[in-house]
Amino acid sequence: MIVQHRRNRISRGSLITTISTFTLENFNDDIDLKRVNNILMKLFLIFPHYCLGRGLFDMSRTHAINVFSLKYVPDYVPVSPFQMNIVGRNLLSLFFQGIIFFLLAILAQYRFFIPDRGCVRTPKNLKSLNEDDDVAAERERIYSDPNNTSHDVLRMVDLVKIYGWAFGKNFTAVKQTCVGVKQGECFGLLGINGSGKSTTFKMLTGEISMTDGNAYVNNYSVIKQLDDVRQNIGYCPQFDALDSLLTAREHLYFYARLCGIKQKNIPFIADCLLKRLGLTLWADRPVKQYSGGNKRKLSTAISLIGNPLIIFMDEPTTGMDVRAKRFLWNCILKLTRQDKKSVVITSHSMEECETLCNRLVIMVNGEFKCLGGVQHLKEKFGDGYTILIRTNIDTNRKIVINYIQKYIPEAIIKEEHNKMIHFRVSTNVSLHKMFSILEKARDELKNLIEDYTVTQVTLDDVFVNFAKIQEGNQILNETNGQGNSYELTHRKTNIVGKFSKYGQDAPEKQKRMFPLMLTVIIFIVKLILFCFRKKHAC
């Protein structure tokens, strides 16, 4: 989609520049317009699309003149279309542009244009003053083991990303995050939109640069040894980077060649991955015929090519039905438990994190607010227990509520609708006391209580509590008139999500760009005409 939109822009630019010079060329009677046309034809040579479009036009026109003149004009000498004043200058310009753009591509590949991190003034201490004990303990573990004797597959050391520093308006998207992921571990990265998850992923994969800190994959530095890092990672993006005209098998062959796998081994590897992800029946069908779930499976299969040590998965089960989701979960569990691969996953599904993750963190405003296993986080940050009572008669809920709150004063009503009553109870009340009172209520209130359940606070509740912190900060910034902070928050989100939003915004942008380009060209023509006429009048 991105390539298609850029191609449309290039074709429109070629059309506008070529037509403008062709139109001016027909006004040979006006000396000023002729001069303007000559200037524009030289000026537009810096645009490759103009060189191609105008060159093809001049070549076809010269050929038509030669054919006509040879037939009807005696002693006519054919003109070569490759003369310098016809197509030659266009070809020469394309030749030099090819060299220049090739060198620019090489420099970009080797991150030559990424600014020196020393020019960014990073605050010495970005971490929160009230940092969680588990987060602080993990940070201390990373600091005290610089040689990675614990053999972490992934290590993040004071990772920082600041946007807008070049314009004097700093927004810190990631604030000195430290964590280590061990072999065979599934590590969850949770947070609402704008919390810094995608920015962290992009820094770890080398897509964007780090402002400060470093990350290591299998002891290779993401900053200094990015090529080695990429040989050890797999990446399943949030939005499928698939060609709708290629089949699943062709995708796997293509990416296997990019990974440098020997040609004789590619068919076997492709067949194994197709079988593992349940795509055998769809292997030779174009991707445009795939469901959303099968596309996610194919993206997962691509991330496994090259036998990487660690796989980054950005919401891998988005758009999947329950059955396909369970299937992919089993594949990920097999990766971590049997193949001993490390997986870093982002997800909005708490059920998915509870099923897959050995440990997880919740990010809020670029910081790790908590870290640990699912059960540990429930016990540490959960509000207690949930009691759900179903009554037999809707009109008698008040009797049940009064009874429960009489013997369990800590019980707070969260919801009540139809025959259901939802209580929240703090951890100060023991399970033994709760069950005793509920059984007693069931006996004393006779048939008013049909059944009840007592559950621990879910991971969703823990996540929502932390999410409210970030949402509250954004609302506070907006209401306090701190427009820059709020604006930068959304600017950062737009920068991070430019690939995901490009397709939605691009058509509207193109509609605005077309008249803008035309207006600019007309303005240039008028300006040059004005200068010539002013000079002629003088």
For residues 339 and 390, state if they share a domain. no
| pLDDT tens digit sequence for 445-460 | 877 888 888 887 778 7
Question: Which of 428, 456, 484 lies at the terminal end of a domain, its last residue?
Answer: 456
Is 401 domain-assigned? Answer: yes
* Lowest mean per-residue pLDDT among 64-78, 138-152, 501-515: 501-515
For residues 273 and 345, state if they share a domain. yes
For residues 305 and 391, state if they share a domain. no
* Lowest mean per-residue pLDDT among 149-163, 424-438, 446-460, 472-486: 472-486
Q: What percent of the chain has pLDDT over 90?
A: 22
Is 378 domain-assigned? Answer: no
Question: Which of 436, 456, 476 lies at the terminal end of a domain, its last residue?
Answer: 456
For residues 342 and 405, state if they share a domain. no
Is 216 domain-assigned? Answer: no
Is 264 domain-assigned? Answer: yes
pTM of the shown model: 0.67
Residues 201, 185, 157, CA angle at the centre, nearest 5°? 45
For residues 341 and 244, state if they share a domain. yes
For residues 261 and 320, state if they share a domain. yes
Number of domains in the chain: 2
For residues 332 and 406, state if they share a domain. no
For residue 397, what are the domain limits? 383-456
Residue 499 has pLDDT above 80, yes or no: no
| Higher pLDDT pick, 19 / 253 | 253
Burial of 245 (0-12, 13-18, 19+ CB in 10 A): exposed
Yes or no: say if 314 and 198 are a contact pair by the CB < 8 Å rule: yes
Is 399 domain-assigned? Answer: yes
Residue 118 has pLDDT above 60, yes or no: no
Is 490 domain-assigned? Answer: no
Cα dihedral across residues 480, 481, 485, 491: positive or negative: positive
For residues 279 and 343, state if they share a domain. yes
For residues 259 and 352, state if they share a domain. yes
Question: Which of 433, 456, 479 lies at the terminal end of a domain, its last residue?
Answer: 456
Q: How far apart are CA 204 and CA 293, in angstroms?
A: 26
For residues 306 and 419, state if they share a domain. no
In this prediction, residues 198-211 reach a mean pLDDT of: 86
Residue reference for tokens 């430019």: 498
Where residue 12 falls among pLDDT bands split at 50, 70, 90? low
Query: Under 8 Å CB-to-CB from 99, ≥6 apart: which residues?
Result: none
pLDDT score of 500:
36
Is 273 domain-assigned? Answer: yes
Tell me, what CATH number does 405's domain have? 3.30.70.1150
Tell me, what CATH number does 295's domain have? 3.40.50.300
For residues 335 and 408, state if they share a domain. no
Question: What is the 3-state composition of the chain as percent helix, strand, coil, each rounded to the nearest 5?
Answer: 55, 15, 30
pLDDT score of 165:
57
Is 60 domain-assigned? Answer: no
| pLDDT tens digit sequence for 216-229 | 999 999 988 888 99
Task: DSSP letter for 241, please.
Answer: -
For residues 240 and 343, state if they share a domain. yes
Where residue 516 falls among pLDDT bands split at 50, 70, 90? low
